[in-house]
Amino acid sequence: MPNRSFFWFFLPAGLAMILFIGLPIISTGIQSFYAQHDQILIEVKKCDPFGCKTSVVVDQEATSKIKEEKPLGKFNGFGTYIDRNHLASDQVSEFWSESKSVGEFIGKVGNLPFYKALVFTLTYCVIVTPCVLLLGFIIALSLNAISRKIRGPLIFGTILPMIVTPLVGSLVLFWMIDAEGIIGANLQILMDDPYLSVKSSKALTWITIIIYGVWHHSPFAFVVFYAALQTVPQEPLEASIIDGASRFQRVKHIVLPHIYPVVTFVALISLMDNFRVFEPIIGFSAEGSAQSLSWLIYDNLVNEEVILFGSAAATSIMTIVGISIILTPVLLRTWKEFRTNR
Amino acid sequence: MKKILVTLLFLLFGTVANADCNIKSGSINILANDFPALRTLVETAKECKGSADFKVTHSAEHNKIAVPALTANPSEFSVRVAANSSIVPLMNADLIRPMNDLVKKYGKGIQESQLITIDGKVMAVAFMANTQHLYVRTDVLEENGIAIPKTYEEVVAAAEKIRAAGKMKYPYAAAYKAGWNLAEEFVNMYIGHGGEFFKDGGAQPNINNAKGVATLNMLKKLADLSNPDYLTHDSEAIKVEWESGNVAIMTLWASRSGTLLDDEGDAKITAATKLVAPATVGGGNIPAATLWWDGFTLAKNRSDADAEASFRAMAHAASSKEMVAKAADQAVWLVEGFVPGPKSVGVIEAVKMGAKPYPMLPQMGLMHGALGSEIVEFLQGNESAEQALKDVEAAYITKAKEQGFL
């Protein structure tokens, strides 16, 4: 396609992206550098049905004056980024100097909210993405090999997890692992421990969320792989059969190289999706044991009675940076191939 | 047919008879939490809406909606039904209006004690009181020869006895869901131990001390006697546990008693359920509970006409003797003419025992938020109490700095 027509094709989508994605990101970025003004508190008499007492409130007159002058708040630079609830530079260096072993240091850092969330997010990403790719590929291969007559219903059954709303899907599993649910109760009997709780055990919660993630995302990989498998040319496959190649050899040397670009695509999308893991944490009420970066943003915005815009903005920006870092190797590789193909 | 007609006529005249507020214009849009007493109140307000436009949103997520919705100008809602804690962010951001004039003009039936005044300005009108107190199963306690517990130490002993008798696996329940609910339990228990959250009236945190440790240890003891999934259980979930007969002693909101004791569910359990005073802890004499009021506030970013219409409708409800007589068992109404019934025991005892109200401080929300996420690891057994409290203080300080309180 000539560059000119590409430009016109891309323009509407590009404009929408700038308007609805680009500008909000810039505004989020700006917001992350600001904190609230110093609160001006005054002592007043407060009365309620349970009696009167003297206590403090925010002085609205004084505050509104400052707010009018500087509506964005107090410039804080990278202050929010390096505070304890984010990168915690002071705490990390303090832990480094006072820790006797690397293990102790890691334990202490892992206790900080941002790193806690980062560890879960990365663990989830690193385990779920390959599992999704592998499972999706296996399902696609098997479905591609069976009789056409039953393929339709089977494909429908396979993509069901993707059709089910994430929250509903996670809630169903959530009730099953309840101490009195079918999985939870049976686990208690199996392990002979009446106080075993999948929901309160950190490890078991993580495993549950990861299994849920694989279950939910595999159909996507499957659909794309299945479509790609339809384009694999039959001639080389037949030739290899005549040459005596086994099924495994055929998949390894002909099918995989052919659909390789699609694998890269699915890996990219899965990585991005998994890095933003959020719904299962809400669905499983797993806030206590598993927090992700997206959950931190949500927590800052809605769970507090006071909304922490600066914190949420800083975490958002760091999530974007995180995704970019994770995607760099894959993108670099694609770019290199693109250059060599030219 | 005749019967239906009579009923219809009765209904028609019934409403006409009630609609005496004579509101001619304006629009009323209410945001409120979702429990029976609030539904009753809003229905009562609706009776006198006159020709005003009337809308209501009942949502358990009301806290998340309130500030953004009231910040808009004009704001989405003209009335926000708030409580001690949820009024604070509204005042911090200057989103609600004083209503002294309206009270003077239209608030005849409202009692002086219902007014929430800040520096003489009426910011809210309270209509009901609430607290968390104990619910016990008298049949289970009697069977095991246990007296009704008065302190949390007795609660622990009683629950252990019931468990040892093989009666119930998880005899105790409280809303320990990580986040707001868990933090609320800490606040109650810490106040029960006589703790203060901030250093001498300032915003510096003050919970990493012996009282804080004692609070956490008591929470842990109670958690060990609860369903192991306690970190995911909110008030609604433990209510279900109670109705299934899995629990013998429970700490729950007074406002939830209405649906707990309704005709649905096992009649035997309902009959044996008794509402008693909140417990004390650690030898203290004030209960490990906080007093709450629920009241209505008026949005600032809304026209005066809307505010007036809203106030008149809400004031009608907040002073309706009929309503409190009809819905006497739904809440502890602060409205004149309320006769406390057996379901009011918890709140009345709490007041008698000198329970403290939930601290209405600008920075309390940040402390509450920090507590909700940082004490979880202690309960899971991954962290010491001192470390957990240190984490709470550190998380709070960071947030308070960002918000300009420190």
Cα–Cα distance, B339 to B332 (Å, whole number) = 9
A52-66, B5-19, B253-267: range with lowest mean pLDDT = B5-19
* Site from A40, A43, A48 to mutate, B interface, most B CB atoms within 10 angstroms: A48
Contact B114 A49 (CB under 8 A): yes
Nearest to B56 by CA among B78, B74, B89: B78
Contact B404 A299 (CB under 8 A): no
Interfacial B residues in 252-281 facing A (CB < 8 Å): none
Contact B403 A39 (CB under 8 A): yes
Provide the 3-class DSSP secondary structure of residue B389.
helix
Render pLDDT for A247-297 as a digit per residue (tens, 0 to 9). Answer: 899 999 999 999 988 998 899 899 999 999 999 998 888 888 899 999 999
CB B173 within 8 A of CB B241: yes
DSSP B196: -
Q: Which member of B68, B178, B228 has the closest CB to residue A197?
A: B228
What ipTM goes with this model? 0.82
What is the rounded average pLDDT of the residues B138-149? Answer: 94
Cα–Cα distance, A109 to A103 (Å, whole number) = 10
Residue A300 Rama label (left phi>0; alpha psi -120 to 50; beta): alpha
Sort out which chain A residues have CB atoms less than 8 A from B404's CB and list them: 35-39, 74
Q: Rounded to the nearest 5 degrees, what angle is found at the Cα of B201, between the Cα atoms of B353 and A52?
A: 45
- What is the model's pLDDT at position B304? 93
* Site from A31, A34, A50 to mutate, B interface, most B CB atoms within 10 angstroms: A50
- What is the model's pLDDT at position B347? 92
Cα–Cα distance, A139 to A161 (Å, whole number) = 14
Render pLDDT for A95-112 as a digit per residue (tens, 0 to 9). Answer: 999 888 999 999 889 889
Q: Which member of B293, B360, B398 has the closest CB to residue A55?
A: B360
Contact A45 B366 (CB under 8 A): no
- What is the model's pLDDT at position B95? 93
CB A326 within 8 A of CB A275: yes
Q: Is B113 on the interface with A (CB under 8 A)?
A: yes
What is the rounded average pLDDT of the residues B239-264? Answer: 89
Q: What is the DSSP string of B76-133?
A: S-SEEEEETTTHHHHHHTT-B---HHHHHHH-TT--GGGEEEETTEEEEEEEEEE-EE
Contact B86 A299 (CB under 8 A): no
Q: Is A89 on the interface with B (CB under 8 A)?
A: no
Q: Taking the domains of chain A in order of start, what are their residue ranges?
A: 40-75, 112-341
Render pLDDT for B286-326 as a digit per residue (tens, 0 to 9). Answer: 999 999 999 999 999 999 999 999 999 999 999 999 999 98
CB B318 within 8 A of CB B294: no
Sort out which chain B residues have CB atoms less than 8 A from A199's CB and list them: 228-229, 231-232
Render pLDDT for B29-88 as a digit per residue (tens, 0 to 9). Answer: 999 998 888 999 999 999 888 888 999 999 988 888 898 899 999 999 999 999 988 899
Which contacts qualify for B372-376: CB closer than 8 Å, 24 or more apart? B372/A303, B372/B178, B372/B179, B372/B180, B372/B181, B372/B182, B372/B183, B373/A113, B373/A287, B373/A291, B373/A299, B373/B178, B373/B179, B375/B182, B375/B183, B375/B186, B375/B216, B375/B219, B376/A287, B376/A288, B376/A289, B376/B178, B376/B182, B376/B231
CA-nearest residue to B244 within chain A is A180
Render pLDDT for B228-244 as a digit per residue (tens, 0 to 9). Answer: 889 889 898 999 999 99
Nearest to B339 by CA among B353, B356, B321, B357: B321
Q: Rounded to the nearest 5 degrees, what angle is found at the Cα of A303, between the Cα atoms of A300 and A307?
A: 50
- Return the CATH number of the domain spanning residue range B132-288+349-402: 3.40.190.10
Residue B244 tokens read as: 């299934």
Q: Is B284 on the interface with A (CB under 8 A)?
A: no
Which segments of chain A have a pLDDT < 70? Answer: 1, 303-304, 342
Sort out which chain A residues have CB atoms less than 8 A from B227's CB and list them: 179, 197
End-to-end CA distance of chain B: 70
In CATH, the architecture of A112-341 is: Orthogonal Bundle (1.10)
Contact A306 B377 (CB under 8 A): no
CB A170 within 8 A of CB A283: yes
Q: Is A37 on the interface with B (CB under 8 A)?
A: yes
CB B295 within 8 A of CB B125: yes
CA-nearest residue to B388 within chain A is A111
pLDDT of residue B21 exceeding 90, the answer is no
Q: Taking the domains of chain B in order of start, what are their residue ranges?
A: 2-128+292-339, 132-288+349-402
pLDDT of residue B11 exceeding 50, the answer is no
Interfacial A residues in 272-301 facing B (CB < 8 Å): 284-289, 291, 299
Averaged pLDDT score across all residues of chain B: 89
- What is the model's pLDDT at position A132? 96
Q: Is B173 on the interface with A (CB under 8 A)?
A: no
Contact B399 A308 (CB under 8 A): yes
Which helix (H) or strand (E) element contains residue B134?
A: strand B132-137
Domain B2-128+292-339: which CATH number of 3.40.50.1360, 3.40.190.10, 3.30.210.10, 3.50.50.60: 3.40.190.10
How sure is the predictor about B13, in pLDDT bands with cuts at 50, 70 and 90?
very low
Q: How many helices (H) and strands (E) does chain B have?
A: 18, 12
| Pairing between β-strand B79-83 and β-strand B27-32 as defined by DSSP bridges | parallel
Cβ-Cβ contacts under 8 Å between A and B: the total is 165
